[in-house]
Amino acid sequence: MSVKVFVDGSEGTTGLQIHERLVSRPEVELVPIEPALRKDPAARADCLNAADVAFLCLPDVAARESAALVTNPDTIVIDASTAHRTDPAWSYGLPELGVEYRRRIETANRIANIGCHAGAFLLGVAPLVQSGIVPVDTRLSCFSITGYSGGGKSMIADYEATDRPATLLSPRPYALGLAHKHLPEMRQHAGLTHAPLFNPVVGPFRQGLAVTIPLALRALPGNVSPASLHAALSEAYAGATFVRVCPLGDDANLDGGFLDAQACNGTNRADVMVFGHDEQAVVIVRIDNLGKGASGSAIQCMNLRLGLAESAGLTV
């Protein structure tokens, strides 16, 4: 099987990662574009319509423009931007959310890749909402710490400059207007009535991400415990290729009592963990923000859509 792939925006962080993950796959033929023509609509349209699969690794406005250039009904478009993640005409690229999500990815020609924070949040919350443990009208909060690579080439350059200021040596909360662009997909695909109160933080490390969702157990209906949360998550991800529910209460989950936000780096794996006691619990989901949170997830969707092995070219 030969697959022609075009990466629109291959010079950006996600585009570069997709290119690196595909360049050595013998069944993939990467469609080239002259560097001088990367912003030329006619040249991009030719490449997009010549491809079996087109990845859009662009800002939202440019991603919408590229999607509109696709006239070949057989071209599969996988958009890594925020532009189409809540659009019902596009499938949402997180097959672990359930049979219907997986089926749509396997059959759709328009797939919206996940946001990194959103994907981790959904993996921790969606099964609890689907099972009724967390009511749909619960007002959740979550905290996420991520590596600076999530900010793109400009932020990477700032953090890796030899003369970087001391302010970049400590974690920095951001999006304090509480209107982060991932919130709509977090609410919609979790099945929640209200968007969570979301506090993202960028840390002084290149990549890795961990989302923490605190739960006041006595505020939930029924007799909810860390063990019942863990059991629901374990059932939801039984047999999942890329989601690992870590053993409950196992010290091996931690590094001397501390959580390593970078432990999934270089993989497409998501680690789901539960900690707590009778009154309170936290669900923590750890991913590589450049892997399961971006390029790895996009390639996983491509594999599913083409009927290839889900893990082709990816590390668990």
Which residues belong to the active site?
A: 116
**In b/e form, how buried is each residue of 30-41, taking b as 16+ CB within 10 angstroms?**
bbebeeeeeeee
> Rounded to whole angstroms, how far apart are CA atoms 290 and 271?
15
The sign one gets for the Cα dihedral 81, 86, 88, 92 is positive
Token pair belonging to 139: 């007002």
| Phi/psi at 142 (5° precision) | -155, 155
Q: Cα–chain-centroid distance for residue 292?
A: 5
> Rounded to whole angstroms, how far apart are CA atoms 181 and 114?
12
> Rounded to whole angstroms, how far apart are CA atoms 295 and 288?
10
Contact 30, 8 (CB under 8 A): no
| Phi/psi at 5 (5° precision) | -125, 130
The one-character DSSP state at 174 is -
- R_g of the chain computed on alpha carbons: 19
Half-sphere exposure of 303 (CA within 13 A, CB side): 20
Q: Cα–chain-centroid distance for residue 58?
A: 16
Reduce the DSSP state of residue 229 to 3 states and report it: helix
N-to-C CA span, the chain: 24
